[in-house]
């Protein structure tokens, strides 16, 4: 965003110093939000976020089912278990549930952070394309439509900007980096203790 403001300031200063100019260069407008969400890059980010969110939701359901089953087994075993042993197992279970819940929340927040970072990367990549568009048209500046009270459709370059940005950077996908999956530790009943083989005396 600072680059965007700097670009406008630079162009305004250059126009003011051009004494021979009798008319100001045209002002162009751009729907910055539509540029992003309608671009191949923005659509790819949205699809990635939706797919990863769906995967995370499925993972949460699997983990929840495993924890519910473990809790049910722990409750069943309580009647035949030493109270001290049960208390230790129950505390361990609660600890793990809290840790897993925190890890899954962090995953969800990480997905949103990636989407936000990708939005910033998009405008970094789009900046040279927009600058070239300013130079080609001889425009004084490109203003975001959200900051303009009234303008003519003739000076809206959003569609042209989308076309140029798509041609220049496309979807620019990130390399796949699968998130780690914290799974609940097995209950004591699911743990198999292997006895080392004994040699013949």
Q: Which of 27-36, 103-112, 123-132, 192-201 has the lowest mean pLDDT?
A: 192-201
| pTM flag (> 0.75) | no
Task: Return the structure tokens found at 79.
Answer: 């009647």
Question: Alpha-carbon dihedral of residues 31, 37, 133, 160, nearest 10 degrees?
Answer: -90
Contact 145, 35 (CB under 8 A): no
Q: For residue range 171-190, what is the model confidence (pLDDT) as tens digits?
A: 988 766 544 444 444 444 44
Q: Note the maximum CA span of the chain.
A: 108
Q: Which of 14-18, 78-82, 94-98 has the lowest mean pLDDT?
A: 14-18
Query: Would you state the pLDDT for residue 56?
Result: 96
Query: Would you state the pLDDT for residue 79?
Result: 87
Query: Would you state the pLDDT for residue 95?
Result: 94
Q: How confident is the model at residue 11 (pLDDT cuts 50, 70, 90)?
A: very low
The DSSP code sequence of 76-94 is HHGGGS-HHHHHHHHHHHH
Strand partners, 29: 143, 156
Query: Would you state the pLDDT for residue 29?
Result: 87
Query: Would you state the pLDDT for residue 22?
Result: 34
Other CB atoms within 10 Å distance of the CB of residue 14: 12
Average pLDDT rounded to a whole number, residues 29-47: 95
Average pLDDT rounded to a whole number, residues 42-54: 96
Residue 29: in which H helix or E strand, if any? strand 27-30
């Amino acid at each position: 965003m600072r680059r965007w403001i700097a670009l406008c300031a630079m162009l305004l200063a250059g126009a003011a110093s051009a004494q021979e100019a009798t008319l100001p260069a045209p002002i162009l407008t751009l729907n910055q939000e539509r540029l992003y969400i309608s671009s191949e890059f923005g659509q790819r980010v949205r699809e990635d976020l939706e797919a990863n969110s769906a995967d995370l939701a499925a993972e949460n359901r699997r983990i929840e089912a495993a924890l519910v089953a473990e809790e049910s087994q722990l409750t069943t075993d309580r009647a035949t278990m030493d109270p001290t042993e049960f208390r230790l197992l129950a505390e361990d279970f609660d600890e793990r549930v809290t840790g897993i819940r925190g890890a899954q929340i962090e995953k969800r927040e990480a997905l949103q952070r990636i989407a936000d970072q990708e939005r910033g990367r998009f405008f970094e990549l789009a900046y040279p394309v927009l600058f070239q568009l300013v130079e080609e048209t001889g425009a004084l500046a490109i203003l975001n439509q959200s900051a303009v009270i009234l303008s003519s459709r003739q000076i809206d370059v959003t569609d042209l900007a989308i076309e140029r940005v798509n041609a220049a950077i496309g979807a620019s996908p990130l390399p796949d980096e699968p998130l780690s999956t914290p799974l609940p530790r097995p209950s004591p009943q699911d743990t198999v203790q292997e006895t080392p083989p004994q040699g013949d005396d």
